[in-house]
Every structure is written in C-alpha cells, then in structure tokens.
Amino acid sequence: MMELLKVDTVEQVMKKMEDYFKDLVLEGQEIHIADALGRILYEDVEAPLELPEFRRSTVDGYAVLAKDTFGASEGLPTFLNNIGKVEMGKSTELIVNSGECVYVPTGGMLPSGTDAMVMIEHAEHLDELTLAVYQSVAPGENVMQVGEDIQKGEILLKRGRKIKAQDIGALAALGIEKITVFERPKVAVLSTGDEIVDPFSKVQLGQIRDINTYALSAMIEEFGGEIVHRLVIQDEYNQLKEKAAEVLKDCHVLVISGGSSVGTKDVTAKVINDLGTPGVFVHGIAIKPGKPTIIGKTNHKAVFGLPGHPVSAIIVCKVFLGYLLDRLQAQEAGEHKTIYAAAAANIHSSPGKETYQMVILEDQNGEYLAKPIHGKSGAITLLTKAHGYIRIDTNKEGIEKGEKVKVVLF
C-alpha cells in the first residue's frame, strides 16, 4: 500500500530548518575588494579614518570667511583680496584673514581661516588682486567638513551585506584593501530519473532532457552558492546512495532532484535516512507546487529532495533552499525584490496549502497589474513567461480581482 505524506506547513518547515541546521555554519575568508562584488560580508567593516580627512571644497570658487560676504549682492558686492590659490591634490599652508580669499578647485583643501566657499559664478576679478563677490554665503556652505562623510570607527558596512559596486568605491576611499566575506556555500546538485538524459545529446522518444540540474545550479549561484558537483544519475538506490555519499564530502548542501514522492521507484528519502543521522525530518509540505519535498540532515550536512517537475523544483529551491543559504550568510530571510500590484483576476488557492501562483506584470496607467498564468508543474516555460509569483497563505481562500498583492520577482 502506498504511504501517504505527512505534510508540514511552510512555517513548521522553516522552524525545523532553524533547529536542525543551527550547527551548519560557513567560515570567513579574506579577499581583495577587487574580487568582492556580490560577496557577503562576514563581519562589520569599520572606517579606519575620517572621510574626508581635510576640509574639502564641493565647488570651484573662492574660500572665504563667510561673515565677509554677508549682505553681498549684484548691486552691492563685497570686495576681497585674492592672496593665492590651492593646487588640486596638494595641501596648503595659506592662512586667510578677514578681507582676503583664496581660489580653491572642486575637491581642493580649504586654507586655514576660511569657513565657506563662494562659487566662481558668483564672483568676478576686477584686477589680479581684487575679487568682487555678488552673493553671500553661510558658514559651512559648499564645504565638506572633516569626518562629515564618515567618522573614524563608524560602521561602514554591516555583516551580511551583499557587496555592491558603490560599496567597493567606499572601501577604496577609506584605503581598505581587503575584507572578510563568507565562504561560498558549496552545493552539489544530483538529478535522478531513468528517463533524464544530457540535454545536448541525441534524445530518444520517451526520454527527457535534463532541465533541473542546470536550472537549479543557476538559481543556487544567484543565492551566492558555489556548485561543486552537477550530475545526472539513474533512479536506483545503490547508485544514488554511493554518489550522494561521495559528493557530500565536498559540500555543505546536497540537492537531489526527483525521487521525492512515495512511488515504488522514489528512493531519495531512504537514501537520505541511510546516509547518516538524523536523516529526513520533512517529507511533504503543505505547498503548491512542491508538496512531496524532502529535507534532511546527515552528518552536519543539509540534504534537499526536490520534486522532479521543473516548476515545482525551482519554486521549492527558491523558497526553502534560498531561505537556508540566506541564513548561512547572515542575510535577512526573504530579502528578495518585490513590488505591489493589483490582481488582474480572481486567483484560486488550494485548500490547506500555501499556494505559489506565477504572474505576469502589466503596467496600466502607471500601476502594475498581476495577471495569473497557469500551467502544469512540468512546463518549464511557465517560469520563463512569469515575471514573479505571489504567495497565498494557507488560511486564505484566494485572491479577489483588484486586491493588492506582493509579487516576488524572479
């Protein structure tokens, strides 16, 4: 008699993952900032110095004592003696007294005694020494003060931040050459099935090109993971167990696609249980698509048994494996791009299941409409057409037309 799956809710699965995988951790590694784009910070980065390190002009113009310009206008200018200029990229020993000024280029250092900058457009040389100022400035105007950008010891970037191009610029500005990031989570992807074949070889009628190995590997790399093995093997117990035990030595997470339901040839759960303790702790989730998902742990390694149908496998990978990889890298769970849209039609859910509905987004008069698209879980083009998905909670009967929904973007 076929065994029935004892399903957990999505919330129960997340809680179990927190408990079972609490000892699964990643190490930190030091890298050069030139290689840091997209990596995840392992520890906070503190500013080793103030930025800027000197008072800096934000405009081309003249460094002045602001009080000397008070009341200046087009009809009644203030006259100052120009006593010199500051060279770009050089310090200055000039000292400015009341009634004097100094030319300073954008980014240049303000000389001692000055507290503001008059833009070059608001001043005019009457002769080599005399400058007419036609607009008043306030103290600090057009000037970046020492430490105004960041103070020494201030946290520049927090642990768990995914490094962006602008972050690398800030690190360079502070003279930080190397940072410590999380090592990439190492993941092996095995697809099982007697019918699954190399997508680039000659395919016989009845055979299916391997989709999941490539799609899941790409998604895992989007999550920051590193694919250390990517294989297709037959849906046979001894072969699957042998290969799984072999690749587990090199990875933090093993993903097995196919063989997760309770049919006679679905051996993934038995393999996970026999690889080591504690074995399978989730077999069946109240989710659509993806109900027969397996999650287990063997000797401090995480193992996921995903459905063989591509849509189901990719959704489960995004929701649950993505959650784990985020947690391992100290990122807030669910930190994915989302937008809000109005449902373009009534959307039904499956009773007792958390439903993930693929949608297409359309811009209508400046507002987004989310149009549901439907297809079988084996139809990979369902995902290529979709811009994202909406999640319908277990206890919600569905979405009404016009209702605001949150769309998680692919």
Task: Single out the residue in 128, 156, 182 at which a domain terminates.
Answer: 182
Contact 280, 271 (CB under 8 A): no
Rounded mean pLDDT of 142-155? 97
> What is the pLDDT, as a whole number, of residue 2?
38
pLDDT band at 376 (very low <50, low <70, confident <90, very high): low
Span 213-245, pLDDT tens digits: 999 999 999 999 999 999 999 888 999 999 999
> What is the pLDDT, as a whole number, of residue 183?
98
pLDDT above 60: residue 333: no
With a pLDDT cut of 90, the percent of the chain lying above it is: 79
Whether residues 285 and 346 fall in one domain:
no
Integer Cα distance of 284 and 302 in angstroms: 16
- pTM for the complete prediction? 0.84
Exposed (0-12), middle (13-18) or buried (19+): which is 46, by Cβ within 10 Å? Answer: middle
Rounded mean pLDDT of 238-253? 95
Query: Total domain count for the chain?
Result: 4
Q: What is the DSSP letter of 318?
A: I
Whether residues 188 and 317 fall in one domain:
yes
Whether residues 192 and 251 fall in one domain:
yes
Q: Strands 388-392 and 367-372: what pairing?
A: unpaired
> What is the pLDDT, as a whole number, of residue 281?
96
Mean model confidence pLDDT for the chain: 92
Integer Cα distance of 394 and 287 in angstroms: 8
> What is the pLDDT, as a whole number, of residue 1?
35
CATH number of the CATH domain containing 112: 2.170.190.11
Whether residues 215 and 303 fall in one domain:
yes
Strands (E), 234-273: 253-257
pLDDT band at 264 (very low <50, low <70, confident <90, very high): very low
Which comes out higher in pLDDT, residue 169 or 236? 169
Rounded mean pLDDT of 42-69? 97
Question: What would the two tokens of residue 344 be?
Answer: 């373009």
- Residue holding tokens 């989570």? 185
Exposed (0-12), middle (13-18) or buried (19+): which is 214, by Cβ within 10 Å? Answer: middle
Give the residue numbers spanning the domain of 239. 10-26+184-328
Integer Cα distance of 229 and 281 in angstroms: 24
Whether residues 235 and 300 fall in one domain:
yes
pLDDT band at 96 (very low <50, low <70, confident <90, very high): very high
Which comes out higher in pLDDT, residue 148 or 331? 148
pLDDT above 90: residue 248: yes
Cα of first residue to Cα of last residue in the chain, in angstroms, is 40
> What is the pLDDT, as a whole number, of residue 8?
93
pLDDT above 70: residue 377: no
> What is the pLDDT, as a whole number, of residue 265?
47
Determine the angle formed by the axes of helices 237-248 and 268-275, rounding to 10 degrees: 50
Integer Cα distance of 304 and 296 in angstroms: 6
Rounded mean pLDDT of 72-97? 96
pLDDT above 80: residue 30: yes
Q: How far is CA 83 from CA 101, 104, 106, 316, in A?
A: 6, 12, 18, 71
Contacts of 247 (CB under 8 A, 6+ apart): 188, 190, 228, 229, 231, 254
Contact 84, 102 (CB under 8 A): yes
Q: How far is CA 157 from CA 153, 170, 337, 338, in A?
A: 12, 9, 20, 23
Rounded mean pLDDT of 236-259? 93
Reduce the DSSP state of residue 30 to 3 states and report it: strand
Span 282-304, pLDDT tens digits: 999 999 989 999 999 998 999 99
Rounded mean pLDDT of 149-178? 97
pLDDT above 50: residue 314: yes
With residue 188 as reference, give the H or E element that holds it: strand 186-192
Task: Single out the residue in 144, 163, 193 at which a domain terminates.
Answer: 144
Rounded mean pLDDT of 34-58? 97
Q: What is the DSSP letter of 37?
A: T
Contact 338, 407 (CB under 8 A): yes
With residue 248 as reference, give the H or E element that holds it: helix 237-248
Exposed (0-12), middle (13-18) or buried (19+): which is 205, by Cβ within 10 Å? Answer: exposed
Whether residues 343 and 363 fall in one domain:
yes
> What is the pLDDT, as a whole number, of residue 260?
54
> What is the pLDDT, as a whole number, of residue 271?
94
CB-facing half-sphere around the CA of 56: CA atoms within 13 A: 16
CATH number of the CATH domain containing 221: 3.40.980.10
CATH number of the CATH domain containing 158: 3.90.105.10
Residue 230 lies inside a defined structural domain of this protein? yes
Nearest to 255 by CA among 304, 288, 295: 304
